[in-house]
Structure formats: C-alpha cells, structure tokens
Structure 1
Amino acid sequence: MATMGVIADDFTGATDIATAYAARGYRTEVLTAPDARADPGTDVSVVALKTRTAPIDVAVAESLAAHDRLAAAGHTKFFLKYCSTFDSTDRGNIGPILDALVERTGAAHCVVVPAFPDNGRTTFQGHLFVWSDLLEHSSMRHHPLTPMTKSRVADILRPQTRHTVGEVRLATVQAGPEAVRTALDASADPYVVVDAVDDDDLVTIAAATEGDVLRSGGSGLALGAAPGSADATAAFAAPVGRRLVVCGSASARTREQIASAVAADSPTHQLDVARLAVDAPAVIQEAGAWLRAQPADSAPVVYSVGVPSDVSADADSSTRIEHALSEIVDRAIADGFAQCIVAGGETSGAVVSRLGIQRLVIGAPIAPGVCWAEGVTASGRRIAIALKSGNFGSPDMFTTGWEALA
C-alpha cells in the first residue's frame, strides 16, 4: 500500500533516498521519466527530477506535477528531497518548491532536516556542518552553481520563501518524539529547521513527524523511518557486460576517486572540455574509440575535471559536458558495456534521460547514499547503474564499487 511519495531535486538524490527507504524495509521504486507512473502497490515512490538549478518556474511546475502523479497513485504523505548540503541560492530553488508544495498539500508545518550523519552532514544550533567544518567553510563554498556562503539553515532558506522559518534545537530532539511534536505544534513558523547530529536524532524526528503530510530534508530522515515489512536484502542479478565510470562532477571527493583510480592503474581518459565547445562530435567519438580499446576486464574512467583549475568559467560548459558524457555512455551500452557508475547529480540525470530509462529497481548499497540500481534502456538493454552524488562514496569506490554487484 502506498505510504510515501518523494520528490527529489536530482537523480542521485532520488536513488540516495530510495536506498534509505529500501534499507528500512519498504518496497521502493524510482521513476526517472516524466510519463512513468507510480505503482500503487509500492510503499515508496521517488520521482527523480532535475530541478536543483533549473529556472524557478520550471522547478516549481515540475515538482507540482510530480506531487500530482504521486497523489494519483495513492500516496497521501510527501517528502521533498534536497541535498544534505542544502544546495541553493538566495532565490531558490528549495524555498519556492516548498512554498508550492505547502499550498498544494495544505501542510500546516514542514520540517527542514538536511542532516545525514553517515556522510558527515549534521545540524547543530541551526547550523549545518560538513564533517567538522561549517558549511560555509567546506568545499561547497566554491560550488560553481550553488556556492554556500552561510551555515545557518534558516538564514539560507529565509530569502527564498514568503514564509517564516523557525528552529528546534538539539536539546529538544534529545528529549524525545513527544517533545519535538510539542515544539512543532507550538511553533507559528510554517518551516522549522530541526537539529540532528546522529542517527538516533533522525529516528526521533521521523517518529515525531510520522503523521505530517509534508516533510523535507536529505535522505538521512528516511533512515529514521519505522521499519517496513519488505525484504531489504533482495537485489537484482547483475547483467553481464563491461564496466564504465563517467564523472561530470567537479567535487573534491570525485576528484579524489579519480586520483585513486589512477593510482590503482585503472584506465582514465579526460575529456577535452575546451574542444567540446567547437567540435563535440569528435571529442565524443574519440572517447568512444578509447573505451573500446581498453581491456575487457578493466573499469575505465572518463572524466571532465581532475583538478580545480579544470573547471571552466564558460556558463554553458556544464551542459556540454553532461551531453557528451550521456552520449558516451549511450554508445558504450550499445558496444556491450552493462555496468556503469555515474558521478554527479546533473550528469546522472542526463545519462538516465539519454538512455531512456523509465524506472530504477534499487539493489545493493555501495556506500552511504549510493547504491546499484537496475534499469532498462529505451533499446531494451538491461543495465546496472550507480548514480553517485559528487561528494559521496569512499576514495576507492571506482575500483571497489563493483564488488557489491550480485
């Protein structure tokens, strides 16, 4: 029976929260195409969008359409999933989407819980930390699209919304679900940022808000959900075929993973980003030829950014990179590749869309927030794909992540 409809602002976030719900024993699906309909027999349906940095009107319209699809499938409770580093600007897109969903659902309150302690994201005294650093002092300060120069979540959200934003501090959370519920009911603020520094706090918040029609946060809050009855160990059998990694992310962790792959003697190929602007077909064709020439038992890595200076100042560069990598993967699948790790939220969305995958079946976890998933391409090919947020995963993930496949 449908219990939760999730609206995710990017594709890696969608598989991230789906992994969390599946681990808690919920039958979970990820819908990756605009015309894919939620299965009424699924406990949790996650709609994967590309709204994090889309124009505000587009982001709001697509989020409301996702809500309506989920409601039509029988979901009566909803979750807006955004990045655990609250990636946004002073204009949005988190605030405008929340405002629209509050109006559509009639929610009196909506908690704001970006914390994901397993990946070092915690909220204390209303401030968001990345491991031991305040958000504004982390690598997110220099993000090319959503530079995070503040750490207090309420201060980030307030300029984005027409509603007021309150806070519930850690002492209240640690007093238990009833204390949190009492604080939320007493608040005059439609949005309430709730502290969480460990998984026990997430369990408390999830219990306190179980009856809420709308919640928001990172996937950590899903890890606090009450246990479901589905078999969390069930996974698909991996399709036979060659392996591939593509990276459109410029994050510090992805660059570290590329360096680790180089150190492990994995074949690596860096796209000529400058040439993409003048002769993209040639760059894509060269990458495809290089992939075919690699040993069949290797896991070659195609990437766009190896060091920070590789990041292009060209505003259209990211779009060209996403297009190129998605085309490279599409051609690789046609050449017999069947297992693929994709690094970067926007790149993941581009790849899945280019392949024509309608929905993803969640499989084995690789790392907190990262899992293998099964998809069927528009041409009918079954593949295993892992969509990785730029800053997630162990440094050696590009060489060890394959071990989780059945």
Structure 2
Amino acid sequence: MLGAIADDFTGATDLATMLRRSGHRVAVVIEDAALAARAFDDIDAIVIALKTRTAPVADAVSSSLGALERLRSWGADRFYFKYCSTFDSTDTGNIGPVLDALSGALAARRTIVVPSLPANGRTVYEGHLFVGSDLLENSPMRHHPLTPMTRSRVADILRPQTDRGVAEVFHPAVRAGVDGLTAALAEAEEPYVVVDAIDDDDLAVVAVAVRDDVLVSGGSGLALGIRGPGHPDSAWQAPSDGGRLVLCGSVSAATRRQIEVAAAASAPVRVVDLDRAAADTDAEVRSIVAWVREQRGGSAPIVCAARTLDDVRETVGGVPTAPLVESVLSAVAARSVASGEVSALIVAGGETSGAVVRALGVAALHIGPELAPGVCWATTTVGDSAVALALKSGNFGADDLFLRAWEKLA
C-alpha cells in the first residue's frame, strides 16, 4: 500500500485525485483521526492531510513523523511526501526539515524532488521551476505573504533548509527513458535529487525509474506515473441530491474569476461583512446561514471573502481577516450541513478547507470523480448524513468550475 503525507488539506485531495486517475482506490485521512486498519481493506493508497506547510518547523516535523507511523500501522510500505507544486517554503523550512525527518526514519538512501505539475503549468527544466512561462521568482508567488518565492532553482531553495546534499538530473536524462534516467540517478551521490519534468510523459518515466524507492517527494503530478492495481472503486457514491453551497476563503485571481462567471449565470453571491464579523462573528454567521436558506431551490449560492481586490483587507479593527473569514465560513458550513439544508460543498482555499473539514468533524474522505487537475469530489459522513466536498486550491480549476462541478453529482 502507498502511504502519503500532504502538507495541507487541498494538497491532500489534489494528490488523491491524481492517484485515483492512475488506478488507485484512495482515502484521505484528516490529521490525527482515529481509524482502525480495517477501514482501509478496500483502499490502495492513503493520504494523510496535515496543516504543516507554514507551521513551526518542530511542529511540522513532529506531525509528519506521527503521520508516517500511522501509515505504517495501516500497512503502507512505500511513502510519498507531497508539497505544493510551487515549492512553497522559506530558507528555514518546512520542506527540507520534513524530508530530513522522513528519509531518516525510513533509512532512505535517495529521495527524488519533483514539484512539477504540468497540467497546471508547473514544470521544472534545467533545475528551474516555472509557473506557466514565468520563472517561479517572476510569478505571483514572489509576493506570497507567508512563503515569498524569490528564487527559481529548486536546489537553491532546498539547500538552505537541509544539511544534506542536493543533486540535479536534467531533462536529457529523463528523455533518455527509464534506463537512461535510472543510470543518471545511480550516479548522483547526494541523498536528494531534483529531477526535471516538463510533461506527463516525463513524470511517467520518473515514477518508473524510482519504483523501488521507499520514499519519493513532489507535487501531485508524480502520482500520475505511479500505477495502481486498477480495482473498481466501490467506496465512492454520490450523496442524494440536496442543497449546494460554495465557500471561498481564497482571494486568488482564479477564484475571483470563478465567482464572477457563476454570478454572470445568476448564481447568488454574498461577500462576508468583515466589520460585522469582527464585531460579532456569530451574528454574521447567522445572517449568512439565513441568506443561504433564502436562495431559490437548485441554486448554488456563493459566500466569499472577496469579489474584487477592493474587498481584500489584511485586518479589520486590528483583527487579522484571514482567520476571521475561516471562522465565519467554517461555522456557516457546519450549521448548513447540520440542518440538513446543504449536502454538497465546494470550498476554495487551503486554510479555509482545513477549517471547514475540522468544523464538520470529518475523519476521512473517499475520493470520487475529478473536476479539474488537482480538484475532485469526495464523500464523507457527517452525523448520519452523506456529504460531498470539493476542496480546491485557490488557483486551481477552470473559470466555470462553480457551475459545472455539480454535473458530476447527478
């Protein structure tokens, strides 16, 4: 069984989507949910969703090692550390320290580093990470508030985070096929090896070349080359038709476009009133829940942190807006599901997805149909009811995602 550790919640479902596409029956386990091994009798891959991307280094390492031991107890014998395809990290971590801890615990002689996700424009060439046609350092990630990415060479980003050596294998070796790449990897003496990949064919070659490695690391794209047994997936079943809701904590350009496309098609949209939420969070939650209830049947109302950049505020009344929005949206989700009025939710934004999953008390997700690269429907049980969730990174999905996603539940 393949066991994977993802450093955030949307990253976990992103990886699970790719594993399902490559022939695995997949479950996502939320952090430290207590589950017995028998819960995974019909599962080929387990992904544990952590919230460690920007956690303190010691906490990230501890949580990741705990996840590794749980995966081992459930029968996993090969492991995958999943981080963002834009290699989100700083000079002090967290990718390097977690890699050091996992590779040490597994006595891994070599661990590849493959952030590429070509389907979403993330590629590595000559060791440099590109976002579309831009080097990482010239992409919007340069201005990320927590992990500003000011370099593009993956090895140069990783080296300050670890005392271990970092080698690079470039594209000609990958294009030489499995035998050529295997030979190139064998020549690399360093424990970490950054490998070029510019398309899915490259990822397939890489995955086969390292099929005997106990630990691999990368974005979700590498999973496309890790072939599963292809058993029929009986764990996925769409819930009966019920209320729909979209919650957007992300204020990314992609998510804002998705909101506007849905609004143009008559989807009702409400922006969280930050001033009222700061003054009385519960009052704003009650108001939004009532507004959701009032929307016409069959619609998929959208509650968002922002529709335009003018709506984006870092603080309100001295209170940081990001955790405030997460608190509001997660409470709206919990109350709307508990009332039975909502049975399918799309959640945009990694931090918001984590907050919603925790508020709903989710222990595990069974991965279902793909909506876009890195985005899928998953099902879980909340109380006695089946609920469908689509947790998406703010930057993922086509502009019409909030309109077309529901077709997969029909």
Q: TM-score, length-normalised on structure 1?
A: 0.95
Paired position in structure 2 for 1:189:
190
Q: How does 1:225-244 map to 2 (within 5 A)?
A: 225-231=226-232, 235-244=236-245
Q: 5+ residue gaps in structure 2?
A: none
- Confirm or deny: 8 A CA contact 2:24 2:227 kept in the other structure: no
1:74 aligned partner: 75
Structure-2 separation of matches of 1:309 and 1:153? 34
Match of 2:336 in 1: 332
Distance 1:187 1:55, change over 3 A: same
Separation (CA, whole Å) in 2 of partners of 1:68 and 1:184: 28
CA 238–382 in structure 1, closer or farther in 2 if over 3 Å, else same? closer
- Measure how far apart 1:205 and its partner are: 0.2
Q: Once the 2 structures are TM-superposed, how far is the Cα of residue 123 of structure 1 from its aligned partner?
A: 0.7
Over 3 Å counting, the alpha-carbon distance change for 1:73 and 1:283 in structure 2 is same
What residue number does 2:34 align with?
36
- Residue 365 in structure 1 maps to residue 366 in structure 2: no
**Which residue in 1 is equivalent to 2:388?**
384
**Alignment partner of 1:85 is 2:86:** yes
Q: Which residue type is aligned with residue 320 of structure 1?
A: L
Alignment check: 8 A CA contact 1:40 1:74 kept? no
1:135–1:232 CA distance, 2 compared to 1 (3 A)? farther
Aligned length: 403
Deviations 1:179-231 (A, max 9, x none): 22222222121111110001100000000111001100011000011242312
Aligned 8 A contact 1:258 1:306 in 2 = yes
Question: Aligned with 2:62: secondary structure?
Answer: helix
Is 1:50 aligned to 2:51, yes or no? Answer: yes
SS in 1 for 2:189: coil
Amino acid in structure 1 at the alignment position of 2:178:
P
Secondary structure class of the residue paired with 2:241: coil
Aligned to 1:255: 256
Aligned to 2:4: 6
Pair 1:185–1:345, CA change in 2 (3 A)? same
- Give the secondary-structure state (helix, strand or coil) at the position aligned to 2:376: strand
- CA shift, 1:233, in A, is 9.2
* Higher mean C-alpha deviation, range 143-152 or range 48-57: 143-152
Matched, 1:101 2:102: yes
Q: SS of 1:295's equivalent?
A: coil
CA distance in 2, matches of 1:277, 1:387: 26
Aligned to 1:352: 357
1:301-340 to structure 2, matched below 5 A, reads: 301-314=302-315, 316-335=320-339, 336-340=341-345
Q: Distance in 2 between matches of 1:82 and 1:220?
A: 11
Counterparts of 2:76 and 2:356 in 1: how far apart (Å)?
28
1:8 partner letter: A
Relative to structure 2, which stretch is displaced further, 224-233 or 22-31?
Answer: 224-233
Task: State the match for 1:22 in structure 2.
Answer: 20
Deviation digits for residues 347-395 of structure 1 (CA, Å, limit 9, x no counterpart): 1111111101111111111111111000111x22210110111111000
For residues 157 and 274 of structure 1, the distance between their equivalents in structure 2, rounded to whole angstroms, comes to: 41
Paired with 1:329 and 1:98, the residues of 2 have a C-alpha distance of 34
8 Å CA contact 2:236, 2:379 repeated in 1: no
- Segment drifting more, 384-393 vs 154-163: 154-163
| Overall identity of the aligned pairs, in % | 52
**What is the RMSD computed on CA atoms of the aligned residues?**
1.6
* SS of equivalent to 1:337: coil
Q: What runs of 5+ residues in structure 1 fail to find an aligned partner?
A: none
1:267 shift after superposition: 0.3
Aligned counterpart for 1:343 among listed residues 330, 339, 348: 348
Instruction: Tell me the residue number matched to 2:406.
Output: 402
Quote the Cα distance in structure 2 between the aligned partners of 1:348 and 1:46: 16
Take 1:33 and 1:257, find their aligned partners in 2: how far apart are those partners?
29
In 1, Cα distance between equivalents of 2:234 and 2:256: 31
Residues 149-191 of structure 1 deviation map (CA, whole Å, 9 limit, x = unaligned): 2211111111112212111100100001122222222212111
> Is 1:119 matched up with 2:123?
no
Moved more, 273-282 or 153-162: 273-282
